[in-house]
Amino acid sequence: MMQQEIVIMLKLKCDKCRSKAVADGWSYMCNFSGMERRRGKNKLVMTGDGTDAATVTGSLRKKLCYAYLVSVEQVK
């Protein structure tokens, strides 16, 4: 199976929410790139294989806050 990179945009209110998002990302994928913060926008970047991007995004919406799926790309 090919690895894929999933980028999810989050709108987080505090650092506690940020750590919950990272923990939720770890639960879905074995390789986790981390969070990127710029100008109040938080990007969650995950790489791995065998994960449904819509499921991850839906889980983040239910548990935390607004989550928007930005892109899903195959990594070579």
Contact (Cβ atoms closer than 8 angstroms) between residue 47 and residue 33: yes
* pLDDT at position 30: 56
pTM for the complete prediction? 0.73
User: For the chain, what are the domain ranges?
Assistant: 3-75
* pLDDT at position 1: 64
Q: Which of 69, 47, 49 is nearest to 59 (CA)?
A: 69
pLDDT tens figures, 20-62: 777 777 676 655 565 666 565 678 888 877 778 888 888 888 8
pLDDT score of 70 more than 90:
yes
Cα–Cα distance, 5 to 40 (Å, whole number): 22
pLDDT score of 4 more than 80:
yes
* pLDDT at position 69: 92
Burial 43-57 (b: 16+ CB within 10 A, else e): ebbbbbeebebeebb
Options 3.40.50.300, 3.40.710.10, 3.30.428.10, 3.30.70.100; CATH of 3-75: 3.30.70.100
